[in-house]
Chain A
């Protein structure tokens, strides 16, 4: 009789236990197997937006869909090309009806590790970032709600949206899904990385000499371009102009001391992401090195870490060779 009592209680406990949404979702929608380079931590993501197979597949489909734009001509990929480490080839990207913006489209490599978005850091999450290009009149010039209504009943959106988020496609789903896909764009498989992991032959002698220059106190590149992403993700004025047409970080903070400051870009895949600087005003790495060697113009907010240096005719190609060694050996896109 005692056994009967115990069995009855256990049966009731099991029956009463409420299956959580996470558990239900896990059965149908497993977590995405994100491949990470050696030493990279798993990027954090909001609790309401777990990185799942369905969310990243949905995000990828949306990322390449021109129907997010008013004219059905511009997708995220129009300005973030896969073969350019998800950056653009022109100084200012072209949006609907030939409109152009005011800043160069940055690479999306490793945005999973950023804590603010856009070159001025105005938006705090990858999810919220998605809304801006869809609505910006010089980019997609659309309404994210209207775009969702257009795509909601179409496949694969209908089924992936339900699977990933348990709801039909809407602004919440679009922003979460595209953010999920962007979180998978990991860069860390370059010859430089292999060299750091002990593969001495991964880089040429010239590239190694360039790396030593890069890391030297004289050039001081690592003051801002350090760490696993070769960026501090902070904001700096590098003396590009005496008067900036674009106030940069100050647009957000309204502080004069932030005028002309822009977020440090990663140097990963830098050979693929020309043109350079916040406005794409420098076409080549040679031009960029020339600028930094000059120490920049004496703007009031110029970063104190900006200091001039001289490179010999042998050192300059070595430095550029090193920057070329930062290109990934594989595509950033790991979503089938």
Chain B
């Protein structure tokens, strides 16, 4: 009975199955980041570090609280889990950015969806899921790369705020500043969230650049409200000295102003 089947029909079935298998083995193209959404706009945030209202520059002598002579040599900080906030909640826009404040004002551009927003909400530092990653996994241009000098290689984490400088507590002295000030916040307990809301809501639109300014009052890192850092006695934190690290964290959080 089997021999009675039509050979042409069998060949047709072979052809169909061939097409089916080839289709099954085909590798799909990856979905592009952002789900292929092309309706994104750009939020361009000009980051402006200042000292008492004037442009901040490293290796420039300033006056710290108590009239101490003080200069900053290195200043970097992480913003992470960056979100836009509107009436409906939050929209994630970027996992992490490293703000290097040593080179004056700069632009930070974020790809954002269209909308009207109250402001930006971000983590100051890194959330645990980023803080404990391996820096060698990231390319040399990534904010979490080992090249940034922000990973604590002897520990399982990153510096959140790197604030290095020198001071002399004698305001009348004229000798070079020698005493080191080096406060690096980090550890999960130093991670905090900051709301960077301008006075009025702002709107973003597809294929459009929206400008904001993030003013960073570097002088405020040493004193905002009741949290004054006396650099003559509070000048070292590298994972230890948690009270000083937390004080600097609060001061930095209070020194970021979106305009």
Assess whether A123 is in contact with B156, with CB atoms less than 8 Å apart: yes
Contact of A124 among B2, B135, B156, B242 (CB under 8 A): B156
A16 near B21: Cβ-Cβ < 8 Å: yes
**Contact B135 A131, beta carbon cutoff 8 Å:** yes
Chain B binding site: helix, strand, loop or mixed by DSSP? helix
Interface flag for B140 (CB, 8 Å):
yes
Pair A127/B134 contact, Cβ less than 8 Å: yes
Is the pair A5, B151 in contact by a Cβ cutoff of 8 Å? no
Chain B residues with CB under 8 Å of A128's CB are: 134, 136, 153, 156
In B229-243, which residues have CB < 8 Å from any A CB?
239-240, 242
Note all chain A residues with C-beta closer than 8 A to B31: none
A131 touches B18 (CB 8 A): no
**Alpha-carbon distance A18/B25, docked complex (angstroms):** 9
Q: Identify which of A12, A132, A136, A145 contacts B147 (C-beta below 8 A).
A: A145
A-chain residues with CB within 8 Å of residue B225 when the two chains form the complex? none
Evaluate whether A1 and B7 lie within 8 angstroms (CB atoms) in the complex, with A123-B155, A254-B187 already known: yes
Give chain A nearest CB distance to B13 CB in angstroms: 7
Residues on B with beta carbons closer than 8 Å to the beta carbon of A125: 134
CB-based nearest A residue for B10 = A1
Question: Nearest chain B CB to A326's CB is how many angstroms away?
Answer: 29
* A252 closest partner in B (C-beta): B155
Q: Report A63 CB to chain B, min CB distance, Å.
A: 16
A-B interface contact total, Cβ < 8 Å: 83
Residue of A whose beta carbon sits closest to that of B134:
A128
Query: Which residues of chain B are within 8 angstroms of A118 by Cβ–Cβ distance?
Result: 154
For B4-33 the 0/1 string (1 means CB < 8 A from A) is 010100100110011001101100000000
Interface contact B18-A145, CB-CB below 8 Å:
no
Which chain B residues border A16 with CB–CB below 8 Å?
A: 21-22, 24-25
Query: A172 interface residue, CB < 8 Å from B?
Result: yes
Compute how far the CA of A156 lies from the CA of B132 in the bound complex, rounded to whole angstroms. 32
Per-residue interface assignment for chain A, residues 118 to 154, with 1 indicating a CB less than 8 Å from any chain B CB and 0 otherwise: 1000111101101110011000000111000000000
> Which of A8, A124, A175, A251 sits near B136, CB closer than 8 Å?
A175
Do the beta carbons of B14 and A5 come within 8 Å of each other? yes
Residues of chain A within 8 A of B155, CB atoms compared: 122-123, 251-252
Taking the complex as formed, is A196 at the interface, i.e. its CB lies under 8 A from any CB of chain B? no
A251 to B239, CA, bound (A): 7
Query: In the complex the two chains form, is A135's CB within 8 Å of B146's CB?
Result: yes
B146 and A13 within 8 A (CB): no
Question: Given the complex of chains A and B, what is the CA–CA distance between A12 and B154 in angstroms?
Answer: 53
Q: Is the CB of B22 within 8 A of A12?
A: yes
Q: Which residues in B have some Cβ–Cβ distance to A below 8 Å? A: 2, 5, 7, 10, 13-14, 17-18, 21-22, 24-25, 132, 134-137, 140, 145-147, 151, 153-156, 187, 239-240, 242
Nearest 9 pairs between A and B by C-beta?
A16-B25, A132-B153, A171-B136, A122-B155, A12-B21, A175-B136, A131-B153, A1-B10, A172-B136
**Other A-B pairs beyond A128-B136, A172-B137, 7, CB < 8 Å:** A12-B17, A15-B25, A127-B134, A128-B153, A136-B153, A145-B147, A252-B156
Interface residues of A (CB under 8 A from B): 1-2, 4-5, 8-9, 12-13, 15-16, 18, 118, 122-125, 127-128, 130-132, 135-136, 143-145, 171-172, 174-175, 247, 250-252, 254
